[in-house]
Every structure is written in C-alpha cells, then in structure tokens.
Amino acid sequence: MEILDEHNWKTLDDIIQLDSKEKAKLYLILNHYHALGLLLKEKITNPYLLLSLYSPAAILTVCKKYEAVIGEMREFTNDSTNFEGIDYLREEVQKRYPEIKLIKSAKL
C-alpha cells in the first residue's frame, strides 16, 4: 500500500493537473480494482479465491482512498456507473468481513 501513499490524488482538480504519466498510474489502479469487482459481479471468479489473493483490508483502503475522486468523476461525466466495479468489490468485502474497520489515516 506504500505506493498509494506516494500520490496525493484527492480531487478531480488534482487529477486534471497531473501529467499524462501520473494520470495513467491513477487509471491503472482504478481500472484494476474496477475489473476485480466486475469479475465478482459477473461470477467469473469465486469471491473467496479473490479475497485469498487480495487483502480485504487493502481493498477497503483503496476504495476509501479514491471514493471522493470517483464521486467527482461520476458527477463530471454525469455517469453514475463509472467504476461501478469498485463499489461492488467494496460491498462484497464488507459483506464477508464486516469486522474490518478502517482507521482514519492522515494519508487517506
């Protein structure tokens, strides 16, 4: 998770100001977790298998870290389905691991 802490993408304005290389990094992260959520939603993979490969706490951390940015992207594009796989992934993790509570970190 340290690599995520290197970047301070908190708002859509932050993203717009990035150079193309930095934007590509952000979209790689978002698209990766979006794709994981879609794999679960479409029942292409077993949630227990996926969650044995990915830390549920790490997934929730990523979802929380980029929640505001995704919300702004949805508003900007007027498309509430942008990165919907991330929402599905977060909901599935919370359903299976309700005991995981994220500690509000200054780095989020």
- Report pLDDT digits (tens) over 49-61: 999 999 999 999 9
Quick check: helix, strand or coil at residue 34?
helix
List phi, psi (to 5°) of 21: -65, -45
pLDDT for 96 beyond 90? yes
Q: Percentage of residues in the chain with pLDDT exceeding 70? A: 81
Query: 105's torsion region: left (phi>0), alpha (psi -120 to 50) or beta?
Result: beta
* pTM (whole model) above 0.85: no
Q: Which long-range contacts (CB under 8 A, 24 or more apart) does 3-7 make?
A: 4/29, 4/61, 4/62, 4/65, 5/107
The pLDDT of residue 65 is above 50? yes
d(CA 79, CA 73): 8
